Amino acid sequence: MPSPTPTAPRSLLLTAYRAAVRLDEPFRAAAVAPDPGRLPALALAALRRLAGEPAAARLSAPGRDLDRMDDASARRLLRAVLTVREPAPLPADTMSVLDALLAGERQQRTTVDPSLLPTIAETDTGAAYAAADRTVLWRGDITTLAADAVVNAANHALLGCFKPLHACIDNAIHTAAGPRLREDCHTIMSLQGGPEPTGSAKITRGYHLPARYVVHTVGPVVEGPLRPAHAQLLAASYRACLDLAAAAGTIRTLAFCAISTGVFGYPKAPAARLALRTVADWLADHPGRLDRVVLTAFTDDDHATYRQALTEESPLP
């Protein structure tokens, strides 16, 4: 008897997990932002509460060493502990300390209002780009952007990055949002019962991010030559994020990171052309559904790549 043909993993629909992650409930932290002078003490207090957990033990964080630790070292260690920690609810007192710390750290960062950012029509007046009046090219840190939703480039496990202090967007977003984000992702993946397929997306609340929501998508990994299948999957990721933002019901501004162009290896120039084309096509097919889409570039080089793509014929619908 022949072996059954393996089936591709299926992506859980929003209706199947929306209530489980309380997507429509506004996030209310267990503590408010304190005076900035209290943040060092809060970082140490959080580490003391986490010192007995396996994650802290793996990173050699015994409580007796904390009194000799400066603020920067304490915050790095706390970030590392939360990065490697498996998803699980935290005690209320620990969560209260973390909420206060994360709220205070957010207050120390500049928050950017996407409605105040100039569109492509305003900055690149010569670009013949169909969605120029609704699309922004912005060079900045997506974790500071107060869009309704921001896009996270995730992996198939959809639980965030587990490498301490790894400089990826997945790690940055989970760090700024706090540990509830991983808990929500774990809830979704437990309901799904399998890995997240490439080209699909899930949505959670944004917690301590300025953005109310995070849309998590898995883009293609490019090892070797770029192939048409890679482009099809990357376009599917962009469309899945846009479709999910529309399905959520209240999202009017959506900010993308440069999906797959980091450790996933997708070449930046063709990725920028595809992103511009896919966003423009989707906006044309869904008139009035989103007010503004932000394409975020983290470096000057990334921003220049998008600007160059605007001068080429390929991103134009």
Q: Are residues 88 and 64 in the same domain?
A: yes
Within this chain, do residues 207 and 90 fall inside the same structural domain, yes or no?
A: no
Asked if residue 9 is part of any domain, the answer here is no
Query: Does one domain contain both 154 and 284?
Result: yes
Backbone angles phi, psi at 16, to 5 degrees: -85, -15
Query: In this structure, are 153 and 197 located in the same domain?
Result: yes
Q: What is the pLDDT of residues 84-127, one digit of tens each?
A: 999 999 999 999 999 999 999 999 999 999 999 999 999 987 77
Q: What is the pTM of this model?
A: 0.93
Q: Report if residue 295 sits inside a domain.
A: yes
Does 118 lie in the same domain as 91? no
Are 204 and 65 part of one and the same domain? no
Domain holding 248, by residue range, is: 114-310
CATH assignment of the domain containing 135: 3.40.220.10
Would you give per-residue pLDDT tens digits along the chain (317 residues)?
A: 333 333 456 889 999 999 999 999 999 998 888 998 999 999 999 999 998 888 887 786 544 477 778 999 999 999 999 999 999 999 999 999 999 999 999 999 999 999 999 999 999 877 789 999 999 999 999 999 999 999 999 999 999 999 999 999 999 999 999 999 999 999 999 999 999 999 999 999 999 999 999 999 999 999 999 999 999 999 999 999 999 999 999 999 999 999 999 889 999 999 999 999 999 999 999 999 999 999 999 999 999 999 999 987 444 44
R_g over Cα of the chain: 20
Where does a domain end: 108, 136, 167? 108
Is 294 a member of any domain? Answer: yes
Does residue 19 belong to any structural domain of this protein?
A: no
Residue 265 sits in the same domain as residue 142? yes
| Alpha carbon separation from 124 to 135, 177, 309 (Å, rounded) | 11, 33, 12
Q: 135 in a domain, yes or no?
A: yes
One domain for residues 95 and 165: no
Residue 88 and residue 121 share a domain: no
How many domains does the chain fold into? 2
Same domain, 201 and 62: no
Residue 140 and residue 281 in one domain: yes
Tell me if 16 is assigned to some domain.
Answer: no
Residue ending a domain, choose from 52, 81, 108: 108
